[in-house]
Structure 1
């Protein structure tokens, strides 16, 4: 029997939508048999979206890993005045509805701040989504050289719920699960340029949360 690991952040949706789909499949098998495949596919789709596969987080020191699965849509140097007050490397990852949506800590560190920002729900693959969409920001004091790292969860056009289970003062390990964004979204990492961090991913690259190395501190 195949066991699908599910994200704890999606239990409510799995029980609600999965249950409705299975009941619909059972009833349609009796009344409208041709609708049964639709309900079954919906149930499978819900399970697939909320899957939470294990990951092999690299053990080598001085690296940051991707906080999300998806495609790199932005690599740039930008001013980050709100949390870092510094010129920072920015790496943005777009998560399509087909990607795993569980978010993982990019590094070992202590949670310094958590700030939720209400906003719009533009297409998460666009640059405007970064500044205008609903978002949740978390800053970590990285154990390597006390560098501060900002991780931002950004809602998208379909995603309307951001889950951040981290708390201020908590110590996260690289690759630890700390939340998710439901139904398509964007994750961003900011690292001060002065920290000596070197970006090693490229635009358009596909990354995996907790596994793909984004770059390293020199």
Structure 2
């Protein structure tokens, strides 16, 4: 390639398409559809149409769109779609510390709240090996409360990159959510942005950034799982923004 040539950045061949539905959602949609049919036949037409709307909403809830993830090993991407509701310096959960895990010193935690209208497929913040998966039963407090990270039903996942960087993140069930569905287990090798699980229905994901790494997102910002860059390893510069 000569100095006057530019690298091929691709052509405009990417087109919007309907997102697929994760198989986990088909059984709920089927149940809603059968109830809707029964309402049409045995009760009242207007109730049947309400059932149809609920069926469509269930399919939308379990939508599983394709995401494009940057491959830079220093970039830590969002594991969830949703709203950044908390950014705080806190000690990592005890389930993620110890030998082969995170340290005990406080690190930056970014909390992403998923409403019932967000995509609920969660993705890995980095590429690497799943070294720990810890499920804990608990309460079902509103997921936007700070104490939900310690009291609610939750699942901790620890992934270690090839360079030794460890990222811990926690799926937290919320007020409406009643089940965390894992797609991975310890020992699995995953790509950055790969699907690791989902939470039904409405919830939160906490990400614990490595020591010396600060958030590159702002409170009130919306994230896209597998695409939004939450942080860059080793960068701890504060960023400012404005809600408008």
Provide TM-score, normalisation by structure 1.
Answer: 0.90
Q: What is the Cα deviation at residue 13 of structure 1?
A: 1.9
Q: Which residue matches 2:241?
A: none
Would you tell me which structure has more strand in proportion to its own residues?
1
Q: Which residue matches 1:171?
A: 189
User: Structure 1's 4 and 147: CA in aligned 2 closer, same or farther, altered over 3 A?
Assistant: closer
> 2:129, 2:160 within 8 Å by CA — same for their partners in 1?
yes
Q: RMSD in angstroms over aligned alpha carbons? A: 1.7
- Among 113, 118, 123, the alignment partner of 2:137 is 118
Q: What is the Cα deviation at residue 117 of structure 1?
A: 0.5
Residues 14-163 of structure 1: pairs in structure 2 closer than 5 A: 14-21=29-36, 23-24=37-38, 26-27=40-41, 32-80=44-92, 82=94, 83=96, 84-86=102-104, 87-143=106-162, 145-163=163-181
Q: Which residue matches 1:205?
A: 221
> 2:25, 2:59 within 8 Å by CA — same for their partners in 1?
no
What 5-or-longer segments of structure 2 have no aligned partner? 1-16, 97-101, 235-244
User: Structure 1's 24 and 39: CA in aligned 2 closer, same or farther, altered over 3 A?
Assistant: farther
Between the aligned partners of 1:16 and 1:156, the Cα distance in structure 2 is 23
Between the aligned partners of 1:26 and 1:34, the Cα distance in structure 2 is 8
Which structure has the bigger radius of gyration?
2
Runs of 4+ in 1 over 4 A off after TM superposition: none
Q: What is the Cα deviation at residue 46 of structure 1?
A: 0.9
> 2:25, 2:58 within 8 Å by CA — same for their partners in 1?
no
Q: What is the Cα deviation at residue 199 of structure 1?
A: 1.5
Aligned length: 211
What 5-or-longer segments of structure 1 have no aligned partner? none
* Structure with larger RCO (C-alpha < 8 A, sep 6+): 1
User: Structure 1's 18 and 188: CA in aligned 2 closer, same or farther, altered over 3 A?
Assistant: farther
Between the aligned partners of 2:23 and 2:45, the Cα distance in structure 1 is 33
> 2:125, 2:192 within 8 Å by CA — same for their partners in 1?
yes
Between the aligned partners of 1:37 and 1:8, the Cα distance in structure 2 is 24
> 1:14, 1:50 within 8 Å by CA — same for their partners in 2?
no
Task: Give a deviation string over 1:167-190, Cα, whole Å, max 9, x none.
Answer: 110011111111100110000111
